[in-house]
Amino acid sequence: MLKYLSAAGAVALSVTNVHAQGIEFDAATLNIETTTIAVEGFGDFSLLSYGGDVALTYGAFGVQLGVNRVTDSDMESFAFPFEVDYTGFEVHGFYDVTENLRAGVFYARDDYSGNPSDVLGVEAIWTPTIFRVEGRLASFDEEPDSGWQYNFSAQADLGEGFNPFVQVRRNNYDNGAGYYFRTEVGLSYRPLDTVEFYGSLGAGTNDFGGGIVDEETSVNLGFRLHFGNRDGSSPSSYDREPGPSSLGLDGDSDMLFRYIGFF
């Protein structure tokens, strides 16, 4: 884990000095999260996730790179006699349409315990007034199934650093192979612009097709570091006007895409 966090941290900090030929640092994040999942009729297990993202811009155009790792921290019960080993890499190309709207395309390569998945899609972030809204539509190709992925999230700034949020995700598998549907409701707290604590409760349905369905619930706790324009650590390449909300109006790390991989 330290290897991945150290590499991501080195990239995030070093790119703050990039200012050659009009290329500028936009924002970066580092995060670590623990998730406890209970599957009806089977029991529960825990996962540890960590990773980071960094974005560079050239005028209103930009690119974002991300890496994520997920490992199991409690997967030794009889009900789950396997090991979770997920690594995901993604690259996003984006354009800032307005000061509050970022549109992009992305490619992700997810590897779950030796089973690779290629994901290609479109996405957008919109930050009107006190809200942050993100949506994503993508196709994925993995063994043995392929299909479509739909993501939506919304967050509101209540002031004093408190931000409630909701996330919805659905994967539809081709050839009658079922679907995966998940919702989360949570709250984040940012005592500083650069520091965020968050937690959420989730519920999901995993339909494997043929009448086989698993229901699950989850509890997530996480910590995220933000690097970007709002905290003064770097100039923004896109001149956003500051507003009453702490969410994305300054061109900072809240304008980074938050891709959720296959694990």
* Lowest-confidence pick of 21-30, 157-166, 227-236: 227-236
- For residue 208, give Cα distances in angstroms to 130, 148, 167, 195: 39, 15, 22, 39
Residue 13 lies in a domain: yes
**pLDDT per residue over 195-253, tens digit each?**
999 999 999 998 877 777 788 999 999 999 999 854 433 333 333 343 334 444 344 68
CATH number of the structural domain spanning residue 155: 2.40.160.40
Q: Is residue 262 part of a domain?
A: no
User: Do the domain assignments include residue 176?
Assistant: yes
Sequence-distant (6+) residues with CB within 8 A of 194 are 225, 226, 227, 231, 233
Q: Is the pLDDT of residue 157 over 80?
A: yes
Q: What percent of the chain has pLDDT over 70?
A: 77
Q: How many domains does the chain have?
A: 1
Tell me the residue range of the domain where 155 lies.
2-255
Provide the whole-model pTM: 0.82
- Chain length of the chain: 263
| pLDDT interval class at 169 (50, 70, 90) | very high
Closest Cα partner for 218 from 62, 22, 81, 40?
A: 40
Confidence of residue 104 (pLDDT cuts 50, 70, 90): very high
With respect to residue 263, please indicate whether it lies within any of the assigned structural domains.
no
